[in-house]
Amino acid sequence: MKSNMVTLLTWSSENHDPEVIKNVLKDLKKAKHIVNKVYYLYQPSQEKKLVEIKQLCPCLEPICIDLDKPTDHKKIYDEIRNKVLPFVAKIQNLFINISPGTPAMHAVWLILYAAGSFSSGTQLISSQKNRITGETSCDDVDFPITTYLSELRKYEKENPNEPYYEPEAKSKARQLALEKVRAYASIQGVPMLLLGERGIGKSRLVESYIASIKKKKVVTVACGTLDSTLAESAMFGHKMGSFTGAINDKTGYLEEANGKILFLDEIQDLPKNVQRKLLRTLQDKDHRYRILGDTKEAKANIELVCASNLTEKELRQKLDPDFYDRISFYKVALPPLRECREDVFDDWKEVWKTVRLDSCPIEAPMDDLLKNFLTTSDLPGNFRSLQTIAYQFIAWQDKKTTNEILHNISFNNNPITDCFNIEDFAEFQNLSWQEATKHFQHKFAEYSCNKCETQGIAAQKLGCTTKTLQNALKEIKK
């Protein structure tokens, strides 16, 4: 063990304290460690011992953990995650003594350690007493196992100002979606398609979560920004002189993403000619392609992830059918925040952490009014809606009340928006009022059902019955 200033985290030992902690402190001192704080986890029944322990260790920071069953792994895990990790997760040179407590408590320390929940300098130790000689020792615990969670936590610590997808979701909808992502991302060489509304965090899911599972870097391509006339060159690259204006060689995204993840965001904006050419590359076992103007074929060892804010039906209509089939073997629909209410408060804290200024409180604002707003608003922009709220609180801190701030935030709580362009009404101009009304009702009902995916949800949003929608859908056929 290295010599430095350290923080100790340990369970109380119900039958053997203060002797156990006394020996741990003595052994750490013998190893030339200076303990500047001790986080001491105890149960209510052990509170009387705290006076004696504090006399022994003035730097004690007691944390009460109320456990009905000290053998309940989930309860122990939840208590530590909610009550302990906020204090110690970022502490450097943290030593965790895993010896006191039940086997379930030991297991939880190992799980959290392997998941990367603590800082990179954290060390597990085990305090032991030789029953024959009576000598005590404090040894390092060798537990080199890592998981995708540890990689993800590492990403979070190395990129503190970037959005981050919390992998331990509370809502069932997000749990199921992330379970699919984990399963699919662990399979190498098969494309994945992410579907979800704008602002749901598809990019950050790929750049942190999926990248951590695959252990590869990401090359992100915003397909909507590609010039339609140069998109093929951007994707495959070109040689000097291959076309007018090609004055230099150009590296394409396929070459740039070799050995990495190629993330095509808003895939519906990728031109059809590029889709068909990329399809041939994906169908080839070695992902071979030809750079524009080159006589030789190149290979691209890529992991392809695509994303779209369209529904599955809308995306099918936009993309080349064969290309869609090829990129959608593994398909995950990410639920909007309004379907993940249990996660919204954690999402809000995460968003606040990434946008707050140094002059703002570290803790995210929260009171009954904001809590009600976050649990009732549709948050149509998803994480962007949370960012909007956060920026308003930043601008008006100490100047306006929560009620005043929220009063000026207007979200359209009906997701059935942007329905028609003015050109859409041209088809009604030669119809009678009655005929036009029937056609419009049919078109609006069809659009709403597609947008909401089921007739029941559409009817709820529109304030009508499912039967009304069904009649409107049939009306055009008469």
pLDDT at 16 over 50: yes
Structural domain includes residue 51: yes
pLDDT average, residue stretch 462-478 = 72
More confident residue, 306 or 410: 306
Identify whether residues 167 and 251 lie together within a single domain: yes
Share of the chain above pLDDT 90, in %: 28
Mean pLDDT of the chain: 83
pLDDT at residue 244 tops 80: no
In a domain, 167, yes or no: yes
Stated pTM of the model: 0.60
Let me know whether 107 and 29 are in one domain.
Answer: yes
Classify residue 215: in a domain, yes or no.
yes
The region of weakest confidence among 162-166, 220-224, 344-348, 366-370 is: 162-166
pLDDT band at 48 (very low <50, low <70, confident <90, very high): confident
Q: Average of pLDDT values for 98-126? A: 82
* Residue 110 and residue 137 in one domain: yes
Question: Does the pLDDT at position 106 exceed 70?
Answer: yes
295: CATH: 3.40.50.300
Least confident span in 119-133, 165-179, 194-208: 119-133
pLDDT of the residue at 415 = 42
Residues 297 and 163 in one domain: yes
- One domain for residues 387 and 454: no
Q: Give the CATH number of the domain where residue 109 resides.
A: 3.40.50.10770
The model's confidence at residue 162, banded by pLDDT at 50, 70 and 90, is: low
Domain assignment present for residue 313? The answer is yes
Do the domain assignments include residue 417?
no
pLDDT of residue 413: 47
Domain end, chosen from 317, 333, 349, is at 333
Do 268 and 221 share a structural domain?
yes
SS3 of the chain: the string is CCCCEEEEEEECCCCCCCHHHHHHHHHHHHCCCEEEEEEEEECHHHHHHHHHHHHHCCCEEEEECCCCCCCCHHHHHHHHHHHHHHHHCCCCCEEEECCCCCHHHHHHHHHHHHCCCCCCCCEEEEEEECCCCCCEEEEECCCCCCCHHHHHHHHHHHCCCCCCCCCCCCCHHHHHHHHHHHHHHCCCCCCEEEECCCCCCHHHHHHHHHHHHHCCCEEEEEHHHCCCCCHHHHHHCECCCCCCCCCCCECCHHHHCCCCEEEEECHHHCCHHHHHHHHHHHHCCCCEEECECCCCEEECCCEEEEEECCCHHHHHHHCCHHHHHHHCCEEEECCCHHHCHHHHHHHHHHHHHHHCCCCCCCCCCCCHHHHHHHHHCCCCCCHHHHHHHHHHHHHHCCCCCHHHHHHCCCCCCCCCCCCCCHHHHHHHCCCCHHHHHHHHHHHHHHHHHHHHCCHHHHHHHHCCCHHHHHHHHHHCCC
Q: Let me know whether 66 and 92 are in one domain.
A: yes
Do the domain assignments include residue 412? no
Question: Does residue 449 register a pLDDT over 50?
Answer: yes
Average pLDDT in the 240-266 region? 84
The last residue of one of the domains, among 299, 333, 367, is 333
Q: What is the pLDDT of residue 277?
A: 92
Residues 130 and 160 in one domain: no
pLDDT at 77 over 70: yes
Span 361-368, mean pLDDT? Answer: 91
Mean pLDDT to the nearest integer, 53-78: 86
* 151 within domain boundaries: no
Q: Are residues 196 and 50 part of one domain?
A: no
> Last residue of some domain: 333, 360, 385?
333
User: Is 335 a residue whose pLDDT tops 90?
Assistant: yes
Residues 262 and 212 in one domain: yes
Are residues 309 and 184 both part of a single domain? yes
Per-residue confidence at 365, pLDDT binned at 50, 70, 90? very high
pLDDT (0 to 100) of residue 374: 92
pLDDT of residue 159: 61
Domain that holds residue 436: 422-475
Per the structure, the count of domains in the chain is 4
| One domain, residues 323 and 235 | yes
108 assigned to some structural domain: yes
Question: What confidence tier does 148 reach under pLDDT thresholds 50, 70, 90?
Answer: low
